[in-house]
Structure 1
Amino acid sequence: MRDRTAVTLGLTTLPLYALLLVAGTLTPQPDQVTDPESWARFVSTDSYLIKHIATNVVGSVLVVLGTFALGAAIRQRAAIVGMALSVTGHVLFTVPGVISTFATPPIGQAYLRGNREVMTMEFADAMTVITLLAVLLVVGGSIVLGVAVARSGVFARWAGVLWAAAAVVFYLLGAALGMATTGASLVTQPVGAGLLAVAGGAMVWRAARS
């Protein structure tokens, strides 16, 4: 009974994480290429810093705990593999997360103070490699986990399918596509995060009733 209660509590961090993503991505970030002035003002606000701390710092802790709980709830080989892939990806995501949270605001402030050259600053190629690897691991792990959830009989089948699909929408069609094009936020991010919240909430509901 204690184990089931601990797992249920751990699972609650998944919809909480997703809701933080919804709140953090609901307001679209301006295109830094076509409208650098608006972008600089956007990233220089206190709300930007607070939202990114919530999603990239607090959110990272929540999703790692929830992913461990999900693997523990199913206890099948596929779930353990998906858990390991996802957790590794989320840990790697802390690298670009720290950059966007704490380095981007000073860049925006420097631009607003007249330093236009700051927009040409480039980060090491290693960060791009780490970010791409993080995306692949999180998406791949989420798909494996989603399939494991759907086949487990522990949770509703549709919750696993939705979890896998939501990860593709948020990370590939949202975060990755946005970074690869203009750096602006895409509407697919809050949509994908909302779907993650629904799937996570369904799993918590089933675990609590069990």
Structure 2
Amino acid sequence: MNPQDTGRWIRAGLWVLPASWLLTVWSSLAPQPDQEIDPVAWARFVSSDSYQVSHLVGSTGGTLLAVFGLFALGCFLAGSQSGRLALAAMVMAVAGTTLLLVPAVISTFVTPAVGRAYLAGNQDVMQLEFPGSMSAAFMAGLLLAFAGTVLLGVAAWRSRMLPRWAGALWVAGAVVFYALGVVMGLATTGSSLPTQSAGAALLAVAAGGIAWRGTRKGRELPPAG
């Protein structure tokens, strides 16, 4: 492939990153009611069309776009001072993000069916238990995505190719989104917290700064591999 074509694909991928995080902001704005406290409200919420659309487009679609964007960021930084760190972080972040597609798909397609069954009078459906392997995949994905995303921010900060403020904001956004948003939400309400949307917004702003600088550099990038 022509190096110029490779560069165009990489820069396009950089612009996908802010789009993926903006979709995540949108999908996490409306938290689910507590399933234990008000199962009827929860069932109505998850069986609504708006829930499925937000999860299909926002959560699942945003995750797919994020994978493309993370590859692009890792490749963009490969020739920088922090190239080795960036590539290792890219692999971790992509692996973790891909694993997180498992619960995203279940939330999109299985949870609405559970909600509809409960509203139809099948209350035993709330006792549905998923295998422990799903929880293990989710935790592994969460850990890898968090660590890889943070390290990508560090690599961007150290690269001398991208604004340092963008790298620092990216790291801060990752901490707010994953640690104070996803993990804290699971430990407290079982749903998304406002910190999850806030963290995704910070990552979107940082990714926008990265994409803007990456596009303006206009340098010829070497072909991947």
Q: TM-score range by the shorter chain?
A: over 0.9
After superposition, what is the alpha-carbon deviation per residue over 1:101-136, rounded to whole angstroms, capped at 9, x for unaligned?
A: 110001111111122221121111111111111110
User: Larger Rg: 1 or 2?
Assistant: 2
Percent identical among aligned pairs is 49
Partner residue in 1 for 2:205: 198
TM-score normalised by length of structure 1 = 0.96
Runs of 4+ deviating beyond 4 Å: none
2:23–2:59 Cα contact (<8 Å) kept: no
Pairs within 5 Å for 1:60-209: 60-75=63-78, 76-209=83-216
2:74–2:90 Cα contact (<8 Å) kept: yes
The letter for the 1-side match of 2:104 is: G
Counterparts of 1:172 and 1:35, CA distance in 2: 26
Partner residue in 2 for 1:37: 40
Using the TM superposition, give the Cα deviation of residue 42 of structure 1 relative to its aligned residue in structure 2, in angstroms: 0.6
Counterparts of 1:109 and 1:180, CA distance in 2: 26
After superposition, what is the alpha-carbon deviation per residue over 1:55-112, rounded to whole angstroms, capped at 9, x for unaligned?
A: 3332122101100100111110000000000000011011111111110001111111
Counterparts of 2:30 and 2:116, CA distance in 1: 20
* 2:100 alignment partner, SS class: helix
Counterparts of 1:28 and 1:182, CA distance in 2: 9
Counterparts of 1:94 and 1:150, CA distance in 2: 28
The letter for the 1-side match of 2:97 is: H
User: How many pairs were matched up?
Assistant: 210
The letter for the 2-side match of 1:16 is: A
Counterparts of 1:201 and 1:63, CA distance in 2: 13
After superposition, what is the alpha-carbon deviation per residue over 1:15-52, rounded to whole angstroms, capped at 9, x for unaligned?
A: 00001011101112211111111111110011111111
User: Unmatched 5+ residue regions in structure 2?
Assistant: 218-225
Structure having the larger proportion of residues in helix: 1
The letter for the 2-side match of 1:26 is: L
1:32–1:184 Cα contact (<8 Å) kept: no
Q: Report which stretch shifted further, 38-47 or 27-36.
A: 27-36
RMSD value over aligned CA atoms?
Answer: 1.2
The letter for the 2-side match of 1:74 is: L
Partner residue in 1 for 2:14: 11
Counterparts of 2:172 and 2:21, CA distance in 1: 14
* 2:64 alignment partner, SS class: helix
Counterparts of 1:17 and 1:84, CA distance in 2: 18
2:27–2:59 Cα contact (<8 Å) kept: no
Using the TM superposition, give the Cα deviation of residue 205 of structure 1 relative to its aligned residue in structure 2, in angstroms: 0.8
